[in-house]
Amino acid sequence: REAIDRHAGVETRVQVVGHSFGTFVAAWFNHSFPQRVQQILLFDPVSILVADNMVYQNFVFARGVQEAVTSSSRFATFLMASTEAYMQYYLRRKFFWYNNEIYLDDIDQQAKALVFLSMKDEILDAHRVAQEVDRFTIEQQGKGPEVAKFCWADSKHGDFVMDRHSWKGIRKAIEAQKMTFVKTYEAKKER
């Protein structure tokens, strides 16, 4: 927050982005400084429904080495994250799972959220997360933050990173929400 204050000003609301484990950092920032978040982008968000023990089991135990080695990127993730000694120690001893879950109603009402899901995700249950986003959207009906969901039907965890077509869709979604910020700002300015 200090860096944001110094470089952008103390009143500036920011865009917070997280992928996978990085969504815990996004959740932490949102919990700590909700009034500073303008938009939160969550890609393959393990921080939504993290209390579901499936997330932990799928990450730490990687559903077995055979599934993890189906591609070079999966194998690299398995070796560098799931089996790395410090990561194992941190997740088992130092990580407070209950403090790092993000509930969509924790997001400031003036903020907007984009949730991107790889529907063939090996770590989180993307279908359950999608249902949670849908439930929240229906329940809130304009009373809470605007949350939009985007699903990649044939993607696995993190596949979007190397897919230029996915990035075009991401940019389009961000720009669409950006236009609502501009309209809101102009309406406030006219008053």
Q: Does 190 or 108 have the greater pLDDT score?
A: 108
Tell me how far apart the alpha carbons of residues 72 and 70 are, in angstroms, rounded to a whole number.
Answer: 7
CA angle 182, 14, 108 (to 5 degrees): 85
- Both structure tokens of 103: 């509930």
Q: How confident is the model at residue 170 (pLDDT cuts 50, 70, 90)?
A: very high
- Residues near 15 by Cβ (< 8 Å), separated by ≥ 6? 38, 39, 40, 41
Q: How confident is the model at residue 64 (pLDDT cuts 50, 70, 90)?
A: very low
68-100 confidence digits (pLDDT tens): 455 555 566 555 555 555 555 666 566 666 667
- Residues near 17 by Cβ (< 8 Å), separated by ≥ 6? 26, 40, 41, 43
14-28 confidence digits (pLDDT tens): 999 999 888 988 998
